[in-house]
Structure 1
């Protein structure tokens, strides 16, 4: 009986010592203050649904519907003369209609990362500073002109459906 009690006390002492030393030796997690400061300087800008015409040789072939969202630098965005959503919409027209970045006939070849990179680069070049940190794709749809003109509603083709991180109410931009 005494051996059993002695073994129990021994196990208890070893366990307590192990817990004590593990807590004593554990260091506090390192906080990357630079990354935290960069993240605090950012705001989430929810984009508008933008309808862009897809122009072919014989006129408008259909419409590309895009909904993008952005993580932007608050300070640099506030310095812009033209409001951010309007500038973004204009740049999307330039990139998607003017430069024809998306070929809707070859939907399997769509490179999402290249699209995000070109949109980010084009917007930052237009702003003249690194205003946009990230581009999020909520959805990109293509609707043909025939389906728009047909009285029986038909569903468009979803080229891409992405996920946008949830925004806490404090992170939402007031006028965007």
Structure 2
């Protein structure tokens, strides 16, 4: 008889514990209001494709095809005198032509994260406030001038491979 009562109490305790934990798991998740407000203040701005020449020894050796998008603060972006698309294209020219951030002969040493951070920091410095939150690389390809002249169906060299941020990007016409 005592075994039967203890078994009943044990079953009741297990049932109550499982109902309690089920209700805890079914409760609405806590929302980080600060993160939600920050995400609501951002907008995705699609970039246009930029064709940037690679100049070496006074001659054009090839072209970078780059398309970047970015998340920007809506309010701060609306206040800018220079349109965002033109500003990011200018920053790309500065990095790829002026500073030669990508060395065509040493593509394996290209650091995508440093490239993103440099673009973000450069744009935010130019705007004077933290307008750009994140830079998303959709495409960075290199086409040698020889390929442009001799091959009608260009293949090019894809510089950024398996970029997680480019998962939603459109497929490159040169791939």
TM-score range, shorter chain: 0.7 to 0.9
Q: For residues 118 and 64 of structure 1, what CA distance do their matches in structure 2 show?
A: 17
| Residue ranges of structure 2 left out of the alignment (5+ in a row) | 170-175
| Residue ranges of structure 1 left out of the alignment (5+ in a row) | 168-176
- CA-atom RMSD, angstroms? 2.6
For residues 109-149 of structure 1, the C-alpha deviation after alignment (integer angstroms, 9 at most, x for no partner) is 00111101100011111111101001111121100011111
Give me the TM-score of the superposition, normalised by structure 1.
0.82
Indicate how the Cα distance of structure 1 residues 60 and 25 shifts in structure 2: closer, same or farther if over 3 A, else same. closer
Q: Tell me by how many angstroms 1:90 deviates.
A: 1.5
Match of 1:164 among 163, 166, 175: 166
Q: Tell me by how many angstroms 1:165 deviates.
A: 6.1
Q: Tell me by how many angstroms 1:95 deviates.
A: 1.8
Give me the TM-score of the superposition, normalised by structure 2.
0.82
Q: For residues 19 and 166 of structure 1, what CA distance do their matches in structure 2 show?
A: 41
Secondary structure of the 1:68 match is: strand
Secondary structure of the 1:13 match is: helix
For residues 40-62 of structure 1, the C-alpha deviation after alignment (integer angstroms, 9 at most, x for no partner) is 10001111111100000040000
Higher RCO, 1 vs 2 (CA within 8 Å, ≥6 residues apart): 1
* Equivalent position of 1:171 in the other structure: none
* Equivalent position of 2:19 in the other structure: 20
For residues 74-129 of structure 1, the C-alpha deviation after alignment (integer angstroms, 9 at most, x for no partner) is 11001111221111112211221111111111001001111011000111111111
Deviates more, 1:80-89 or 1:61-70: 80-89
Q: Tell me by how many angstroms 1:8 deviates.
A: 7.4
Secondary structure of the 1:116 match is: helix
